[in-house]
Amino acid sequence: MTTYVYAIARADDLDLPEDLTGVGDPARPVRVVKHDDLAAVVAEAPAGIRPKRRDLMAHQRVVDAAASNGPVLPMRFGSLADDDGAVGKVLDERAEHWRERLSALEGKAEYNLKAVHRTDAVIHQVLAEEPEIRAVSDAQRTAGGGTHEDKLRLGEMVAAAVNAREKRDAELVREKLAGHAEAVQSGPGSQAWIADLSFLLTAESAGQFLTAVDELARDHPHLELTVNGPLPPYSFVEPATASAAPAV
Amino acid sequence: MTTAIATQNGPSRSGGGGSGSLYDVLELILDRGLVIDAFVRVSLVGIEILKIDVRVVVASVDTYLRFAEACNRLDLESGPNKDPGLPDIVGSVTESGARGKTKGALAGAAETVSEAFRSKTGDDDKESAPRRRTSSSASARRRSSSSKEDDE
């Protein structure tokens, strides 16, 4: 029977609620496959599982529960093994690697930060900082709004200025925050946000990081910043490669 | 480990049942996390729907017109001494309670404008902090974008 795998952890750290359930409808009971000191949190895989929001959240809920007492290596959503035996085999064959990764992530959590512009605030900034655009805007307003072509031309100028600020602010966010983290990874939604970054933080550095986020938001009120964390270290399960190292 | 959302106003729980903050990290669950060669992964067909761009598409005629219109609206009161980050305009939105001298109230003013710009009603959560309302309204847009996926 196919086995859905949620996470790898130390066997002794796991203390899952007895009624914990995971993906599927009905949600399948979660259990543990152990091999020596290592364990995988698993469940029977429902047939035809797809990445629906309900199941994604169930996945996260189980990984969170697994992480309550110690470090975990969260699996990507939808990882399926042929059976429990195949899971045990993977725990066995790469046992040293799993132990090393769990030690490396001990006491650390992922914090994901997303940044977008407050649209009106950034346009306001453009008008205040770019006299040329301000002049065009003033002229059009005086003329009662301008023609369709006038509006397009103004809008295009503003868009270019906003675009430049997106790049500038992306660098600013990373520069102000990366120093607090042991590692930084670009989030998968990089295209949808001005900045989408994940930071690996200890309990101590998390406090400093959140303070720095506060300061950033205060000093740059046109930025809308959202932090999610602490999270299981999805973005840091494997050692950082050279290309993924924080660009400080 | 508990999932909590921390905004720029300090760590806090997300409002409205807690799924909002989780939604923001679904992409991590889908695109990050451990991949083991010996395991197979379920098909991610249809997953693009979850990744709809939430950012304003800058290079489009619609956006140009919106930006031009915003200029018309915004610079009426933007004298040289105004802080460019704090648009001081209310338009038709009346949340006068959010305007005042404190930091939180100033954020509220920016928020009010931004909600007006998005034509969001935002009237379901007046008790919460202004910034968190912004976050939740952004989340709500994304949630609604993705709901198609769940409804299939």
For residue range A145-198, list pLDDT tens digits in order. 789 999 999 999 999 999 999 999 999 999 999 999 999 998 876 667 899 999
What's residue A30's pLDDT?
Answer: 97
Of A47 and B117, the structure prediction assigns the larger pLDDT to A47
**CA nearest to A91 within chain B:** B36
**What is the overall mean pLDDT for chain B?**
50
Phi-psi region of A231 (alpha: psi -120 to 50; beta: other; left: phi over 0): beta
Residues ≥6 apart with Cβ < 8 Å to B42:
A49, A50, A51, A77, A78, A80
Domain-embedded: residue B2: no
Band (pLDDT 50/70/90 cuts) for residue B26 is: confident
Kindly provide the ipTM of the predicted complex, given to two decimals. Answer: 0.84
Q: Per-residue pLDDT averaged across A46-69, rounded?
A: 90
**CA nearest to A52 within chain B:** B150
CA distance A93 to A80: 17
Tell whether B5 is within 8 A of chain A (Cβ): yes
Task: Answer whether residue B113 shows pLDDT above 50.
Answer: no
| Min Cα separation B124/chain A (Å) | 20
Domain-embedded: residue B22: yes
Please name which of A176, A173, A189, A172 lies closest in space to residue A235, comparing C-alpha atoms.
Answer: A189
Band (pLDDT 50/70/90 cuts) for residue B25 is: confident
Of B102 and B69, the structure prediction assigns the larger pLDDT to B69
Distances (CA, A) of A234 to A26, A86, A185, B26, B105: 26, 22, 10, 11, 36
* Residue A42, burial from CB neighbour count under 10 angstroms (0-12, 13-18, 19+): buried
Domain-embedded: residue B43: yes
CA distance A39 to A8: 6
Domain interval for residue B32: 16-135
CA distance B98 to B105: 5
For residue range A106-136, list pLDDT tens digits in order. 999 999 999 999 989 999 999 999 999 999 9
CA distance B99 to B122: 16
Cβ proximity of A231 and B3 under 8 Å = yes
Chain-chain contact of A60 with B24 (C-beta, under 8 angstroms): no
Residue owning tokens 């047939």: A47
- Which candidate from B1, B33, B106 shows the least CB-CB separation from A68? B1
Please name which of A220, A185, A192, A44 lies closest in space to residue B8, comparing C-alpha atoms.
Answer: A220
Using a CB-CB cut-off of 8 Å, the residues of chain A touching B29 are 56, 59-60, 74, 76-77, 234
Task: Specify the number of domains making up chain B.
Answer: 1
